[in-house]
Copies of this chain bind each other. A is one copy, B any other.
């Protein structure tokens, strides 16, 4: 910086003003300074800057250690949004061990992150307390409770599930089931509650035997695909039973895959014999192609960055909760139930 000052024949203070675009700099001087800057390929030292005016220009992003492409897109969108406001992104991916999460938070706080986004769906509730203790704006996803310094991003599961149920109802389905193999991407109880509520809205009752929940929830990465999962058997029994559902809503893409392979084993075709909707959109869903209820990663990412930015801003009193609405994307795993309007085909969304 000093060399820039010398080269432009001014003092470092003026250089600082020019760099920060303060209006109190003479046009000609400014031009000389910028010339010197580019000549010397100078760029200001962020650390010195951070030291003097507090902020580091860094945002922390904590994501679950999970093979879900949703996370990948979230990372990308977050970084993009953060960069748009001049922030850098410090990343950390964690398992569900509370201590690990706590460490990750501490590392980011230690690096003077100006905000933290904890995009972990299934982590322990202690995160929030941890975050509240530190004085740093933060945003959490898919959590309950009231929190002084944080903003909550809530997924409107009901909205999403309802879209799925209504789509099926309109197609003519009256026997709709629900399957979940793990609680990874959202709390299963919330989804089930939404499911029964949406069902009753459409004048249907949830049949308990059509709701297949896996108790021994396993993470996909530790799940051996060759092993016969007990959940698989349960689904197979349900479909092979004498009064099977004609459609199933699944809590995740991997759950949907389970259902579809169970269907294949009992000689049911999708969507002719069984319509399947997945909540969430892992890569396989695009290829299968699976009708899904999606949470937009970029929407989540932008909301997160916005929430962090709004936190500190004087004058604004931002709502401490932001609701994200999943949307239904029609692909070709849903159709009319057997026997009704065979020749009609539902509209398939080509825009995705």
Contacts and interface: CB of A to CB of B under 8 A. Distances in A.
Interface stretch (A189-197, A243-251, A278-286): A278-286
Interface stretch (A24-32, A47-55, A173-181, A205-213): A47-55
B93 A90 contact: no
A111 interface: yes
B289 A225 contact: yes
A165 interface: no
A79 interface: yes
Given A75-B93, A93-B75, A47 B43 contact: no
A225 B287 contact: yes
A75 B91 contact: yes
B79 A350 contact: no
Nearest to A223: B286
Contacts of A51: 45, 47-48, 51
A83 interface: yes
A69 interface: yes
Interface string A69-85: 10111011001100100
29 contacts: A43-B106, A44-B110, A46-B47, A46-B111, A46-B112, A47-B51, A47-B56, A51-B51, A57-B111, A67-B72, A67-B73, A71-B72, A72-B72, A75-B91, A79-B93, A83-B92, A83-B107, A88-B90, A88-B108, A89-B90, A89-B91, A90-B90, A90-B91, A224-B350, A224-B352, A226-B350, A257-B287, A284-B284, A284-B287
